[in-house]
Amino acid sequence: MTVAEPVESLARPEPLSHLDALEAEAVHIIREAVAEFERPVLLFSGGKDSAVLLHLAAKAFWPAPVPFPLLHVDTGHNFPEVIDYRDRTAERYGLRLIVASVQEYIDSGRLRERPDGTRNPLQTVPLLEAIETNRFDAVFGGGRRDEEKARAKERVFSLRDEFGQWDPRRQRPELWNLYNGRHRPGEHVRVFPLSNWTELDVWQYIEREQVPLPSIYFAHEREVFRRNGMWLAPGEWGGPKDGEPVEKRTVRYRTVGDMSCTGAVESTARTVAEVIAEIATSRLTERGATRADDRLSEAAMEDRKREGYF
C-alpha cells in the first residue's frame, strides 16, 4: 500500500502574521461599513490611530480613492504641528476635510469656555451637530479597547441614539465578524476598526507600512511646565499658572489632543523603532500617562461618551 502525496492546492495555507490578521480584520470592517451605510465619514485628528485608519481605508479601496470625507473637531488649542499634518494629509489623499470649530461655537455664544481652560469636553456639541448637518450615518473612529476602560466596552459597530448618545447597557451582541448596522432615522453608528489593536500593534504597523506622523510623536526639545504629574505645553489656553515654572525638556507625545489636557512624556525616542522599544517596556497606557481630561472623574471618558463624545 502506498500513501498518496498531498495535493498542493489542498495544502493548508500559511497562517497570517499578527499584523496581517489585524489589517485584514480592519479592512473587512471598513468595507462592511461602506457597503452598509450611505453617508460614512472618518474622524481624523491627525493622531497616530486616525493616520493608521486612513491608511487602512486607502488600502481597502485601492486603486479607487477613499469613498468618504474626513471630519476634525478643532478645539482651537491644537498643536500647530498636528494641524499642519492634518491639512497636508487630506490634500495628499485628495479628500474633503470638514472642520467643526470649538472656537466658533465659543465666539457665537453657543458654548462657554470652561474655568480650567480644557476644551476636550467642549468637542461633543460641534461633533454631533456636524454629524447631523451632514447626515452622516456611520462615523469611523480610531478608538482602541486597550486605551481606556470605557473604550474597552465599545462594540465595533456602536449605536448612537437620535441625540448622539451612547448607552453601554444596551449594546448589541457581536458574534465573530457579524456586525449589526441597523439604525433608525436620526441615529448613527460609530465604527471602530482598530478595536482589537494595542498601542504596540499600531506602532509596529506604522513601522511596517511607513505611515508618516506629526513630528510631536518623536523626542524633541520643548518648553513645558509641570502640573499634576504631567508635562504640559504653555499656551493661550491658560498655562502656566503662578508657581509653574516653564522649563526646556526633551519630550514626545503619546497621544494627540487639546494642548490644555495632553501631557508629554520625557523621552529620547527619535525614531519609530526607538518608540516601539520604549512603549514595549512601559507599564502605563498612553492615555493613563498623558491625558488630564481622563482624570476629571473616575468615569470621565464614559460620561463624555454617553453624551456623544468620540
State the CATH number of the domain containing residue 112. Answer: 3.40.50.620
Backbone angles phi, psi at 121, to 5 degrees: -65, -15
Q: Pull the grid cell for residue 300.
A: 470621565
- In order of 20, 35, 52, 213, 256, the CA distances from 23 in angstroms are 5, 18, 10, 19, 23
Q: Pull the grid cell for residue 29.
A: 470592517
Do 218 and 184 share a structural domain? no
Do 234 and 282 share a structural domain? yes
Position 7 scores a pLDDT of: 57
Provide the number of structural domains found in the chain: 2
- Split at pLDDT 50, 70, 90, the class of 177 is confident
Do 233 and 150 share a structural domain? no
Position 149 scores a pLDDT of: 80
The tens digit of pLDDT for each residue in 207-266 reads 999 999 999 999 999 999 998 888 999 987 777 988 999 999 999 999 988 888 889 999
Q: Which residue has the cell 497621544?
A: 255
Residue 56 domain-assigned?
A: yes
Residue 2 has pLDDT above 60, yes or no: no
Who has greater pLDDT, 288 or 248?
Answer: 248
Q: Is there a contact between 179 and 29 (Cβ–Cβ < 8 Å)?
A: yes
Please give the share of the chain, as a percent, with pLDDT higher than 90.
71
Residue 95 domain-assigned?
A: yes
Do 153 and 49 share a structural domain? yes
Do 277 and 167 share a structural domain? no
Beta bridge partners of 295: none
Residue 44 domain-assigned?
A: yes
Q: What number of other Cβ atoms are within 10 A of residue 217's Cβ? A: 24
Do 181 and 110 share a structural domain? yes
Average pLDDT across the chain, whole number: 90
The residue segments making up the domain with residue 60 are 18-200+300-307
Residue 9 domain-assigned?
A: no
Residue 51 domain-assigned?
A: yes
Beta strands per DSSP E along the chain: 40-43, 70-74, 97-101, 138-140, 157-160, 188-191, 220-227, 230-232, 247-253, 264-266
Q: Is there a contact between 151 and 301 (Cβ–Cβ < 8 Å)?
A: yes
For the chain, the residue count is: 310
Do 120 and 185 share a structural domain? yes
Who has greater pLDDT, 12 or 16?
Answer: 16
Mean pLDDT of 133-159: 92
Torsion of the alpha carbons at 61, 64, 69 and 75, rounded to the nearest 10: 70
- Side chain identity at residue 241, one-letter code: K
- Split at pLDDT 50, 70, 90, the class of 292 is low
Do 131 and 40 share a structural domain? yes
Cα 150 to Cα 168: distance, rounded to the nearest angstrom: 9
Residue 99 domain-assigned?
A: yes
Residue 168 domain-assigned?
A: yes
Residue 6 has pLDDT above 70, yes or no: no
Lowest mean per-residue pLDDT among 33-37, 52-56, 120-124, 305-309 = 305-309
Do 135 and 33 share a structural domain? yes
Backbone angles phi, psi at 293, to 5 degrees: -65, -25
Whether the model pTM is above 0.85: yes
Residue 307 has pLDDT above 60, yes or no: yes
Do 191 and 290 share a structural domain? no
Do 151 and 252 share a structural domain? no
Residue 47 domain-assigned?
A: yes
Who has greater pLDDT, 83 or 297?
Answer: 83
Position 53 scores a pLDDT of: 98
Do 88 and 167 share a structural domain? yes
Position 15 scores a pLDDT of: 86
